[in-house]
Structure 1
Amino acid sequence: PQTYLLGIIISICGNVLISISLNIQKYAHVRQAQRGSKPYYTSAMWWCGVVLMGVGELGNFAAYGFAPASLIAPLGCVSVIASAVISVVFLKETVCASDIVGGTLAITGTYLLVTFAPHTSTHITAHLVQYYAISWHFLLYLFIEIIIFCLLLYLYKMRNVKHIVIVMLLVALLASLTVISVKAVSGMITESIKGQLQLIYPIFYVMLIVMVASCAFQIKFLNQAMKMFDATEVVPINFVFFTASAIVAGLWVNRSLHCIFCLLSFLGVFLIARNRPKIKQQDRNFIAMDKIPGKFKSSLFIICCLK
């Protein structure tokens, strides 16, 4: 019955690694943009960040096998707090009152969630996963999610709407599938280890494919967000959207007490993130005057005057 504590510890360690990895990836993006030579995925530092993220996600995957998802998902606020600490310690950013209040609220909300969330997890079997996978409410949820995802993808790709909310909503919708598939796969593996073999059922491999695919596309969109926006913007928004999507995906929205505790964490994350400095990227179409050869400066000046 105390295995949920192990799940909490593993999840916290995993979220700290994820926070470090996101900051490493952001640094790699900035460095490659300054050099302007090779794409970011050719950087060894970027791959180091990806590996760390993989280790952190594996920790979260293992945590779902020891504790219910309603307990593990909100622990993502640890990554937000860790990012704030990293920015203060390594980036020499200043600490303001809202950071302290926000961190306190986030920690309080997380503590209350850990304390009052159910500490018993349902035994996940292949038959149970199949039963929920073909239920009408899950199929309706999946249909609505696909429609919303396609609409957001159209805005992002075809209409070139590069707003952080659009990108992070794409990540969150994929994350909801990740939570469902991770819980199913880890639960079936746990039952198999206990002696009830679940790996012979096709639903296990279906969920495994969904888990790998959703994680891969999550990393893709998350890296695009990290390339366009500051990590201190991406990490808090990712936490709020991920937790909300995990709650909806698990049909935990009717647990009003848990929602109150989540709102405490959300408010704390907002206070931490609202005063974070934003990285203002220079317009790619802009050319600094000191980079223009001298013989073209006079011509450029004459053209500007004629206009």
Structure 2
Amino acid sequence: MNQGRGKYDFYIGLGLAMSSSIFIGGSFILKKKGLLRLARKGSMRAGQGGHAYLKEWLWWAGLLSMGAGEVANFAAYAFAPATLVTPLGALSVLVSAILSSYFLSERLNLHGKIGCLLSILGSTVMVIHAPKEEEIETLDEMSRKLGDPGFVVFATLVVIVALILILVVGPRHGQSNILVYITICSVIGAFSVSCVKGLGIGIKELLAGHPVLRHPLPWLLLVGLVVCVSTQINYLNRALDIFNTSVVTPIYYVFFTTAVLTCSAILFKEWQRMPATDVIGTLSGFLTIVVGIFLLHAFKDVSLSLASLPVSLRKEEKVANGGSLVGSYEALRDEEASLTCGLEPHAGENVSRRNGNLAAF
């Protein structure tokens, strides 16, 4: 691939991935605003089985925004490596959190602000160090990659693990262990991203005038995508129905992105030509995003701001001072005990005087 063309495609994919996050993050705000307007009008809410939101233009604007975001995300995989596109999906959570604080009056505490900052920094690091060129340009190359022995072994293991989780572990522990359903979504999600990547390449070839529709691979990838996405939606909804959303979201992001990066490294071999510094930078950026998402979700109900920090510090200082006084008292008491054990009987007067000092203290 021409290096200049590869960088051009990279920036197109980057722009599509970022615009996807903006559209998807904004869609939640538009839908929420529409539902709140209906609630103020006294209409039956969606949670109660009402469908009045279908007449609210803000809700439809949110739905269209969500659709535009998903289309942009789909197209991004055709131009940029999955190593870059998938982790940038975290920006939609960031956009949603920031817009909620402005348009929905949902307070963003100090942990949330730090989490947003870390997510931005981690995304920037990943963009800088991500591979700039694609390893696959045509469906024929995609077919050869899918037939690679390393990927066949990986795919077989993933399918076996997924079936064991679905048929054996899920019915027994899915209701009590948050990791069961999330792991199913994540390992299946690795395949869905690969299918999207292949379909994106097929669409590029179709637009270039190649007879893509006669190739069996796009149809197989389409069927695989439908199966994978349906499974993901099913088990993610189960996890969200049983466990707290603020816990499910960050764990799912970490597991899903890790699975996608692993699958991408084995299938597309995007990491082979990357220098060690870029590999370390990409992983560091990903871990930074993980910490940011965790702070944003795990502590969103904690009331902590910059204004409350001096009060907290003063309380800690008082506790520390109190602890030093108690420590001094305990040290003096230990000294008295040692003297009592080591003094002769006629030294009782000195011990009594020391007891008086303790009482005064």
Q: Same fold (TM over 0.5)?
A: yes
Question: What is residue 109 of structure 1 aligned with on the other side?
Answer: 122
**1:169-225 residue CA offsets vs partner (Å, 9 max, x unmatched):** 222122101111111110122123224433321112111111122123223333333
Question: What is residue 301 of structure 1 aligned with on the other side?
Answer: none
**1:217-254 residue CA offsets vs partner (Å, 9 max, x unmatched):** 22333333333444433333332222111101111677
The structure, 1 or 2, with the larger RCO (C-alpha pairs under 8 Å, 6+ apart) is: 1
Question: What is residue 192 of structure 1 aligned with on the other side?
Answer: 206
Question: What is residue 295 of structure 2 aligned with on the other side?
Answer: 271
Note if 1:207 corresponds to 2:221: yes
The alignment partner of 2:79 has SS state of coil
Question: What is residue 292 of structure 1 aligned with on the other side?
Answer: none
Note if 1:56 corresponds to 2:48: no
Larger helix percent: 2
**1:96-130 residue CA offsets vs partner (Å, 9 max, x unmatched):** 32222221111111111112212222343222122
Question: What is residue 189 of structure 2 aligned with on the other side?
Answer: 175
Cα 1:168/1:83, change in 2 over 3 Å: farther
Q: Distance in 1 between matches of 2:23 and 2:250?
A: 15
Question: What is residue 125 of structure 1 aligned with on the other side?
Answer: 138
Question: What is residue 14 of structure 1 aligned with on the other side?
Answer: 20
**Pairwise CA distance, 1:42:** 11
Q: Distance in 2 between matches of 1:72 and 1:103?
A: 18
Residue from 174, 179, 189 that aligns with 1:165 = 179
Question: What is residue 98 of structure 1 aligned with on the other side?
Answer: 111
Do the aligned partners of 1:125 and 1:198 also contact (CA within 8 Å) in 2? no
Q: Distance in 2 between matches of 1:168 and 1:17?
A: 25
Residue from 203, 212, 218 that aligns with 2:232 = 218
Q: Distance in 2 between matches of 1:58 and 1:153?
A: 30
Q: Distance in 2 between matches of 1:21 and 1:138?
A: 36
**Pairwise CA distance, 1:13:** 2.5
Question: What is residue 151 of structure 1 aligned with on the other side?
Answer: 164
Do the aligned partners of 2:131 and 2:271 also contact (CA within 8 Å) in 1? no
Residue from 286, 291, 302 that aligns with 1:262 = 286
Do the aligned partners of 2:246 and 2:298 also contact (CA within 8 Å) in 1? no
Cα 1:80/1:212, change in 2 over 3 Å: same
- Residue 239 of structure 2 aligns with an amino acid whose one-letter code is A
Cα 1:246/1:160, change in 2 over 3 Å: closer
Q: Name stretches of at least 5 consecutive residues in structure 2 with no aligned partner.
A: 36-44, 273-278, 303-361
Do the aligned partners of 1:14 and 1:59 also contact (CA within 8 Å) in 2? yes
Residue from 91, 94, 97 that aligns with 1:84 = 97
Corresponding residue pairs, total: 270
Please say which structure displays the higher CA radius of gyration.
Answer: 2
- Residue 275 of structure 1 aligns with an amino acid whose one-letter code is F
Single out whichever of 67-76 and 13-22 deviates more from structure 2: 13-22
Cα 1:54/1:176, change in 2 over 3 Å: farther
Q: Distance in 2 between matches of 1:118 and 1:203?
A: 26
The alignment partner of 2:213 has SS state of coil
- Residue 105 of structure 2 aligns with an amino acid whose one-letter code is K
Cα 1:118/1:159, change in 2 over 3 Å: closer
Residue from 48, 66, 69 that aligns with 2:79 = 66
| TM-score, with length taken from structure 1 | 0.75
Q: Name stretches of at least 5 consecutive residues in structure 1 with no aligned partner.
A: 279-307
**Pairwise CA distance, 1:32:** 5.0
The alignment partner of 1:250 has SS state of helix
Do the aligned partners of 1:71 and 1:117 also contact (CA within 8 Å) in 2? yes
**1:18-75 residue CA offsets vs partner (Å, 9 max, x unmatched):** 34556759x98xx555x3xx4x999859x96776544432221111112121111110
Q: Distance in 2 between matches of 1:150 and 1:20?
A: 36
Cα 1:5/1:244, change in 2 over 3 Å: same
Q: Distance in 2 between matches of 1:162 and 1:32?
A: 28
**1:270-303 residue CA offsets vs partner (Å, 9 max, x unmatched):** 121220249xxxxxxxxxxxxxxxxxxxxxxxxx
Single out whichever of 12-21 and 268-277 deviates more from structure 2: 12-21
Question: What is residue 276 of structure 2 aligned with on the other side?
Answer: none
**Pairwise CA distance, 1:158:** 5.0
Question: What is residue 4 of structure 1 aligned with on the other side?
Answer: 10
Q: Distance in 2 between matches of 1:211 and 1:179?
A: 8
